[in-house]
Structure 1
Amino acid sequence: MKTTISRRTAVAALAAAVLAGTATPAMATPTGQDRPELRKAMQAFVDAGFTGIQLRVRDQQGDWAASAGVRKLGAAAKPPTDGSFWTGSVIKTFTATMVLQLVAEGRIELDSPAADYLPGYGLDERITVRMLLRHTSGIFNYTGEYKPDGTIDEPGIPANGDGWVPHRFKSYEPEELVRLALSKGPRFEPGTQWNYSNTNYTVALLMIEKVTGHSYATELKRRITGPLGLRGTLAAGNRTTALPGPHAHGYYQYKDKVIDLSHQNMSLLTGAGDLISTTQDLTTFFSALNGGKLLPAKLLAEMRTAIPTSIPEQDYGLGIWAQDLGPGCGTVYQHNGSPPHGYGALMYSSPDGSKTLTASVTWLDSATRGPAKDFLTLVDALVKQEFCGTRAGSADQSEPPGQARPDGPGSGL
């Protein structure tokens, strides 16, 4: 089903929502001790043109959840404080965790060839499991390769922009995505460079299924969502899915229509970007992971042993980013994500898992990027407010102008 809103109605509604948010913050009732500076940092998203944000933090002051903006264009209702949303690349941390659990069980070895566990695809024998999870395999990214400024270096299957919209309900099999990527040839010799590639994690999904004999969804439930009681988390897989339960809506402006993206098929990013979750579930998961409840200490240390990337102050481990927030703040672990358009997800934790920040942001996206251009600056201010106590709005960008984040808004990651 295609859900559209006329461009005139949508733009008018968005303008009204932004003006309303500027005059009187549209906040859902928070839980826990009030956090005025976090409220201010949330409101900055609405003032910049984002339609809504839901935020959850857990720290020494307790749990706190609130939202700002609107749930849907043309309506006054606020975003739910624990609504479901598309998380994009946040799923990579889940995928890496499951692979490392198989390592703990002796069924996979990190430095063995991935081809040993996934024969028949022609994987380079030099590519190890570790290289897949660390993005050093050199395998082509099936959603395309991009230059540091965000322009296309070599095209793949469109995962954002006008080229993606007409195909947002198309179904893909993970096997065809991997074979397409391998047909393009390697980007570099295995292990010699770092390059963020969705293909690595779709290969990891196939490896999980091959080794266990079960579907990714079955293993996700058995290993993570079931034991942790994550009732709002699921991998969409190869089906067209509408976000379940209460949720905020993200949009994309396409020609003369504004398309509601709460309903789409995310099989293009199987194992790499097709997760649905909530802020509560992401908080529970990331706190448990960093608190040592999902992996043995030795493998958690392996996961968090990070190498430099093309992103300043951000190194990559095995399915997790180690980000240096600067003097007085220290390092946080995170993995953010953005499906093709209209949604952004945040997942941050202190090293011991005692302090977490999770969020979902929605907006009306377009080929001109709309408010997404301010996303990194706003996220940086929000995160530093929680982890550094920095006054909201005073932080600089976490990346220099023009530096593309591989899991930034609209990246299809």
Structure 2
Amino acid sequence: MKLVAAFTAAALLTTAGVASAAPAGEREAVQQIIDQLTTSGGALGVQARITGLGTVRSGSAVLGSREPVPHNGTFRIGSVTKPFVSTVVLQLAGEGKVSLDEPVSRHLPGLIDDRITVRHLLQHTSGLHDYTEDLPLDPAGFPSIRFRTWDPHELVDIALRHPLGFEPGAEHSYSNTNYIVAGLLISKITGRPYQREVEQRILKPLRLKDTSLPLNSVDVPGLHAHGYLPDADGKPVDVTRLNPSWGWAAGEMISTTRDLDAFLEALLGGKLLKPAQQQELMKTTAVSPNYGLGISVLPLPCGVTLHGSDGTIPGYAAMMIGTPDKRMALSINQAANGGTPGDAGFRLLNEVFC
């Protein structure tokens, strides 16, 4: 379950704001909630970077040890890759190289249904089947693909074995296939790998030196906590090293809470996009009320509306979320028992933002 989805579900069940601790006790209150995530929320270790509070951490970096989670360790960010990709597409739109409402087939003829537009991809309203549903990502099957190298066209082909789930634009349904196609679109328009465009347009200008696009590399660079997945017998297996090519433009990236905070600050602050594209980034619709173009929208009961993204990949979960003035970047290195942040995660958002 996606972190934002878990938090949203909790928010929908809450009709009144949650009382916040006094400012002097905010760090202590946040620490208590972070500690709960590592005791009953399915996390082995947690690192959170919060505007005004710095880094708060809990739990262990390695199963069975007392080694703490690094203060600014690297980790796999899964689907938090998507806002980086959508930002590049929106930049290309601002440069007049692509239109959000033109068919993708204008640039990638014959790849997908001619009715699917660039906007449909970024907003998950294309109807394309999610190829990850067909991959063996369960504990029993994951070892068979853990170190395999995938070509993005293979991933699209998996999705195209299924018919469209609905008429393009008629519904919102999260599908990783959309961002695989978006990555291919960037490469076709620019003549360069999408990874190169992310690096040149976002990572270098913002000096996100600890963020990387690993391609087929199986290692997590720098200091990092380890992530685990149970095997078929329920025994925890260290899956920190894996080939993320099956995630590609939908979920391959590695970052830190500091870099994610800097990226979100720049993105929400309008530093990466022209005004027209910034408006498109945040735009939701009746069909997609909680998702813009690569960015989730989460209203809290206290009246604050958050924008951000989250993601999971075997061994790790990540989130960046906030407002232009206050942000939180969160990483979780998962224990073998899995689980979701649930109530503790929702209380964390209320403590930080309400």
TM-score of the superposed pair, with normalisation by structure 2: 0.89
Once the two structures are TM-superposed, the CA of residue 250 in structure 1 deviates from its matched residue by: 1.1
Gap runs ≥5 in structure 1? 1-32, 145-155, 389-413
Distance 1:324 1:308, change over 3 A: farther
CA contact (8 A) 1:44 1:378 kept: yes
Paired residues for 1:21-170 under 5 Å? 35-48=27-40, 49-58=42-51, 62-121=52-111, 123-144=112-133, 156-170=134-148
* Equivalent-residue separation in structure 2 for 1:261 and 1:83 (angstroms): 17
CA contact (8 A) 1:347 1:356 kept: yes
CA contact (8 A) 1:309 1:316 kept: no
* Equivalent-residue separation in structure 2 for 1:128 and 1:101 (angstroms): 16
CA contact (8 A) 2:170 2:287 kept: no
Matched AA of 1:266: P
How many aligned residue pairs are there?
A: 329
Gap runs ≥5 in structure 2? 1-24
Equivalent residue for 1:324?
299
* Equivalent-residue separation in structure 2 for 1:85 and 1:307 (angstroms): 33
CA contact (8 A) 2:48 2:330 kept: yes
Paired residues for 1:196-345 under 5 Å? 196-237=174-215, 239-256=216-233, 257-307=235-285, 315-326=290-301, 328-339=302-313, 341-345=314-318
Once the two structures are TM-superposed, the CA of residue 74 in structure 1 deviates from its matched residue by: 2.3
Q: Partner of 2:131: helix, strand, or coil? A: coil
Once the two structures are TM-superposed, the CA of residue 348 in structure 1 deviates from its matched residue by: 0.4
Once the two structures are TM-superposed, the CA of residue 349 in structure 1 deviates from its matched residue by: 1.6
* Equivalent-residue separation in structure 2 for 1:108 and 1:39 (angstroms): 45
CA contact (8 A) 1:309 1:315 kept: no
The match for 1:380 among 301, 325, 346 is: 346
Once the two structures are TM-superposed, the CA of residue 261 in structure 1 deviates from its matched residue by: 1.6
After TM superposition, the runs of 4+ consecutive aligned structure 1 residues lying more than 4 A away are none
Matched AA of 2:305: T
1:348 equivalent to 2:321? Answer yes
Paired residues for 1:5-24 under 5 Å? none
Distance 1:246 1:37, change over 3 A: same
TM-score of the superposed pair, with normalisation by structure 1: 0.76
Q: Partner of 2:129: helix, strand, or coil? A: coil
Once the two structures are TM-superposed, the CA of residue 308 in structure 1 deviates from its matched residue by: 5.2
Q: Partner of 2:319: helix, strand, or coil? A: strand
Q: What percentage of aligned pairs have identical amino acids? A: 38
Distance 1:140 1:57, change over 3 A: same
Q: Partner of 1:315: helix, strand, or coil? A: coil
Equivalent residue for 2:156?
178
Distance 1:335 1:160, change over 3 A: farther
Once the two structures are TM-superposed, the CA of residue 161 in structure 1 deviates from its matched residue by: 3.3
CA contact (8 A) 2:101 2:118 kept: yes
CA contact (8 A) 1:289 1:295 kept: yes
Matched AA of 2:250: A
Q: Cα RMSD between the aligned structures?
A: 1.8
